Amino acid sequence: MKKIEIGSLQKIVGENNVSDKVADLYVYGADASVHQALPSVVVRPKTIDHVQKIMRYANKNKIPVVPRGAGSGTSGHTVPIDGGIILDMKCMNKILEISPQDMLVRVEPGVVDDDLNRALKPLGLFYPPAPASSRIATIGGEIAANASGVRSVKYGATRDYVYGMKVVMANGDLVKLGSNTRVHSSGYQLERLIVGSEGTLGVVVEATMGIRPLPKFRCLAVANFDKLEDAGNAISEIISSGCEPSMLELMDKIGIVAVNKAMDLGLKEVGAIILFEADGNVKEAVDFEIEKMKRICESHNGKDIKKSYDLAERTKLFSGRKKLFASLSRYKEGIICTDLADDMGVPNSKIAEAAAKIHEIAKKNNVIMAVYGHCGSGVIHTKIMLDPKKKSQWKDAANVIEELYDYIDSVGGVTSAEHGIGLSKAPPWKKARADMIPVMRKVKKALDPNNILNPHKIMDAPDDWVGATNLRYKVG
């Protein structure tokens, strides 16, 4: 890597959009993960031309470039492990086109998910993937991680909405991938290759995304369970019996206690809660789905079932789940919530078993783990809650990760269902998918021969995630 000439970058994007101030480097060196590493410079492009010029400069001088959206990644995707340029894409935040006739939108990568939905709502439309972090997450970041959220059980993930995109490649070339239609069969589906590539293959500078009509009716229901196992089995049966929930969420007791402490919600501290929702344009059909799911919950000892069509009431019922992630930090004094082992995917039939196994592994290794998530689509969210000051707790966390992912692999699950691999999930992922690594390296080499785009992530990430970068917590 050659020395970065700030002046060259300033010439491209203007003086005010380049910073090598310590305050900026320190902040842009971290995301929502446990990792932290300093970049050499932060650059804010505003146009496609800016991105092309920056990439040409970086490629010529072999300088690492890490594209970054909201920095809400949980596994260190945007932590610049080799230094170099952080490409802050948040200034490219224009909605370029909304076409209700074509049921698509064309956006710049820095558009925030909620902003897009705010613009679509008056037209009776919505962009469905919406991860829980939709308030800040950018479309570019969602593409990079193939993000999904609470409604993935019905509407799928980001990849299902990507029609086409413009991408700046490592050498600065601009390519247009995909189409303006929901399906296409015109050559390699390279737009799909970019989805989930975590900024390692190209910089998305424009995306054409599918949108859907807003359903007229949404009904949300909540069921309490004394046993987590019962709740897990109820979810498995709801899915396998052909119900069509638009949301099917689980929260275990640890999660319930945490949101009660953080937000004073007064939820009944039972073994687990399931939130299930149905949506549609015919109320009777929505009622039918809700009733069916209600009966399944009851057959698995679900009780105190409440339901509502009212937006305010639904928002209230869902508020605990919405802010659960952050609330986990309040579960116990001296213990904090770290973004580790956070989003494994398991087959539908294994929900209850996996939930029990997670608690068992946590207990064995002296940490606390909440089990929650979009279990209807097989996504189990956990977080490792530990005392960050104790060095031994990081060893405990490493043990949990190893044991837990061995189990997940053994039941046919995946390391990450919606957050991506980055740094902290790379070791278990590499162990589970050793066969994929040579192919992925060939793809990477073909598209980025100088290895400048977000290097040393996913298949090339270090084998020891604890020592991969500085931890952003002070240990000891």
Partner 1 sequence: MGLIGKLFYMKNKGKFNRLKKWEGELNKCIRCGYCYELCPLFKTNNWESDTPRGKLLLVYGMITGELKPTQEIVDKIFQCFYCKNCSDNCSAGVPVTDILTDARADLIEQGFEVEGTIVKIDEDLCSVCGVCVPLCKYDALSIEPDGTGKEKIVVNKVECRGCGLCVSACPSGAITQKEGCEITIPEIHEKVKELIKEDGKKLIVFACNWSLFPGMQLSASPILVKTDYGIIVSMCSGRVAPELILSAFEEGAWGVMVAGCPPEECDHNGNYKTRRRLVLLKNVMKELNINPKRIKLEWFSTGESAKLKSSINEYLKKVEKMGPINKIEVSKKLEARR
Chain positions contacting partner 1, by CB under 8 A: 19, 21-24, 26-28, 30-32, 44, 70-72, 88, 90-91, 93-95, 97-98, 111-112, 114-115, 118-119, 122, 133, 135-136, 262-263, 323, 325-330, 334, 336-339, 388, 472-474
Residue 475 Cβ vs partner 1, minimum distance, rounded to whole Å: 10
Residue 335 Cβ vs partner 1, minimum distance, rounded to whole Å: 9
Residue 399 Cβ vs partner 1, minimum distance, rounded to whole Å: 21
Going by C-alpha positions, the residue among 365, 375, 453 that lies closest to residue 401 is 365
Compare residues 53 and 383 and give the one whose CB is closer to partner 1. 383
Compare residues 115 and 409 and give the one whose CB is closer to partner 1. 115
Compare residues 77 and 90 and give the one whose CB is closer to partner 1. 90
Compare residues 258 and 447 and give the one whose CB is closer to partner 1. 258
Compare residues 41 and 286 and give the one whose CB is closer to partner 1. 41
Compare residues 76 and 302 and give the one whose CB is closer to partner 1. 76
The whole-angstrom separation of Cα 202 and Cα 140 is 11
Residue 265 Cβ vs partner 1, minimum distance, rounded to whole Å: 11
Residue 107 Cβ vs partner 1, minimum distance, rounded to whole Å: 9
The whole-angstrom separation of Cα 91 and Cα 107 is 12
Compare residues 18 and 248 and give the one whose CB is closer to partner 1. 18
The whole-angstrom separation of Cα 427 and Cα 331 is 28
Residue 311 Cβ vs partner 1, minimum distance, rounded to whole Å: 12
Residue 3 Cβ vs partner 1, minimum distance, rounded to whole Å: 22
Compare residues 28 and 465 and give the one whose CB is closer to partner 1. 28
Question: Do 218 and 279 meet the contact criterion of CB atoms below 8 Å apart?
Answer: yes
Residue 437 Cβ vs partner 1, minimum distance, rounded to whole Å: 30
Compare residues 72 and 200 and give the one whose CB is closer to partner 1. 72
Compare residues 23 and 446 and give the one whose CB is closer to partner 1. 23
Residue 47 Cβ vs partner 1, minimum distance, rounded to whole Å: 15
Residue 389 Cβ vs partner 1, minimum distance, rounded to whole Å: 8
Compare residues 36 and 59 and give the one whose CB is closer to partner 1. 36
Residue 402 Cβ vs partner 1, minimum distance, rounded to whole Å: 23
Question: Do 130 and 153 meet the contact criterion of CB atoms below 8 Å apart?
Answer: no
H, E, C per residue of the chain? CCCCCHHHHHHHHCHHHEECCHHHHHHHCECCCCEECCCCEEECCCCHHHHHHHHHHHHHHCCCEEEECCCCCCCCCCCCCCCCEEEEHHHCCCEEEEECCCCEEEECCCCEHHHHHHHHHHHCEECCCCCCCCCCCEHHHHHHHCCCCCCHHHHCCHHHCEEEEEEECCCCCEEEEECCCCCCCCCCCHHHHHCCCCCCCCEEEEEEEECEECCCEEEEEEEEECCHHHHHHHHHHHHHCCCCCCEEEEEEHHHHHHHHHHHCCCCCCCCEEEEEEEEECCHHHHHHHHHHHHHHHHHCCCEEEEEECCHHHHHHHHHHHHCHHHHHHHCCCCCEEECCCCCEECCHHHHHHHHHHHHHHHHHCCCEEEEEECHHHCEEEEEEEECCCCHHHHHHHHHHHHHHHHHHHHCCCECCCCCCCCCCCHHHHHHHCCCHHHHHHHHHHHHCCCCCECCCCHHHCCCCHHHHCEECCCCC
